[in-house]
Amino acid sequence: MSDKHILTVSELTRQIKGVLELGFTNVWIQGEISNFKLHSSGHLYFSLKDEQSQISAVMWRSRAGQLRFRPQDGMKVMVRGNISVYEPRGSYQIDCLQIQPLGKGDLQIAFEQLKQKLNDEGLFDEDRKRSIPEFPNRIGIVTSPTGAAVHDMISVFSRRFPSVELIIVPVKVQGVGAAQEISDAIRMLNSLSDIDVMIVGRGGGSLEDLWAFNEEIVARAIFSSAIPVVSAVGHEIDYSISDFVADLRAPTPSAAAELTVKDRNEVVELIRNFCYTMSNSMTNSVESYKKSIIHLTKSYSFNRPNDLLRQRGQHVDELQRRLEQNLAHHFKMVRQRSASLSARINSLNPRSVLRRGYAIIKQENVVISSAGATKVHKTGTVEFHDGIVNIEFKGKKA
């Protein structure tokens, strides 16, 4: 024994540690998660096992915060990491650098986990959702200023109800920081006055492209909005967390515009029908009173002795007075309704807006809504209420 070097437990552990940590780096392991624990420090601790063996695993908070999904017991995963030795217990473990679920992708799992969480909290409850105003005057739009979606919505609004006012808040709709910009824009629109309804969305794309609308921060901003929200994300087959929490889900941005405003031609036709119905009702009332009077004058009571004739005559006078009052009241109501309908019809005419000093600027037959949309050294037109003037765009003001 004297000729041999006797190791302490610590010395042996350090030697084993050196062999394992240098020999097993950047390894991939496949297995099932068990004994999962999220520590208050933010670190993840769990075991990775198969039919015969298991290994302890840890993922430190700095990397765990980058996971899109929450690992759970029973989930089958692939783990990439380095083998390390925890010296106080002399046990080895894998220090996880990356965790990938088997089967469903991490985005799909994250989507399902967040959907279940928010549903349990009541964010999707139908009884809390509000109806969209029937005739909105100002509509807020949160979307990309350069995407096709915003141009499609503007085109639909111009065609269906051109007098509506649009407040467009430009945001990133994908990539780093997009979810924060979208949630900030929702809160900003809520700070304005007289916004009747809000559309939040973008055009189609992959699940990765649409992911900003699956972020919890956006869902909670929509839930907290005092303004009714229409979610219009992607195509008809695409569903996002925003769709479930919004007051109304539209299959596309164009459909959101269709659902938000009525067709002005339908509104005008509705007013015409109302006027026709009101006129018929008045005519029928007058005819009914005429028939009543004729019936009274031909009744037996008028042929009875003079005392009854005087009583009936007094009754006829009273009926005539009430008839005149009712007719006067009816005609007054008709005049008031006609004036109201005339004012509403005039408000639908976009030319009435131009008479107040506004103008429509076009370039290449496209309405210019901002200075950034103009093309310098190109001609265009300015439409006033009494005519159109040709102009040339010299340059942009900084």
This prediction has a pTM of: 0.51
Which pLDDT score, from 0 to 100, does residue 103 have?
64
Look-up of token digits 């208050």: 40
Per-residue pLDDT tens over the stretch 242-274: 999 999 999 999 999 999 999 888 777 778 887
Residue 397, in any domain of the structure: no
Q: What is the CATH number of the domain that holds 62?
A: 2.40.50.140
Residue 99, in any domain of the structure: yes
Are residues 354 and 295 in contact, defined by beta-carbon separation less than 8 angstroms? no
Are residues 258 and 156 in contact, defined by beta-carbon separation less than 8 angstroms? yes
Residue 111, in any domain of the structure: no
Residue 118, in any domain of the structure: no
Residue 295, in any domain of the structure: yes
Same domain, 318 and 359: no
CA–CA separation, 296 vs 313, rounded Å?
10
Q: Report the number of distinct structural domains present in the chain.
A: 4
Which pLDDT score, from 0 to 100, does residue 306 have?
59
Same domain, 280 and 364: no
Instruction: Spell out the residues 6+ positions from residue 356 whose beta carbon is closer than 8 angstroms to its own.
Output: none
Q: What is the CATH number of the domain that holds 145?
A: 3.40.50.10550
Taken in order 72, 73, 79, 82, the sign of the CA dihedral is: positive
Extract the tokens encoding 54. 């298991």
Same domain, 331 and 369: no
Residue 279, in any domain of the structure: yes
Which pLDDT score, from 0 to 100, does residue 394 have?
81
- Provide the residue range defining the domain that includes 361: 353-392
- Across the range 226-230, mean pLDDT stands at 95
Per-residue pLDDT tens over the stretch 148-167: 899 999 999 999 999 899 99
Residue 78, in any domain of the structure: yes
Same domain, 253 and 278: no
CB under 8 A, 24+ apart: contacts of 64-70 = 67/99, 67/106, 68/106, 68/107, 68/109, 68/110, 69/101, 69/106, 69/107, 69/109, 69/110, 69/113, 70/38, 70/110, 70/113
CA–CA separation, 171 vs 188, rounded Å?
12
**Mean of per-residue pLDDT scores for the chain:** 85
Per-residue pLDDT tens over the stretch 271-307: 888 787 888 888 888 888 888 887 777 766 655 665 6
- Across the range 68-89, mean pLDDT stands at 84
Look-up of token digits 């969305």: 201
Same domain, 13 and 91: yes
Are residues 212 and 107 in contact, defined by beta-carbon separation less than 8 angstroms? no
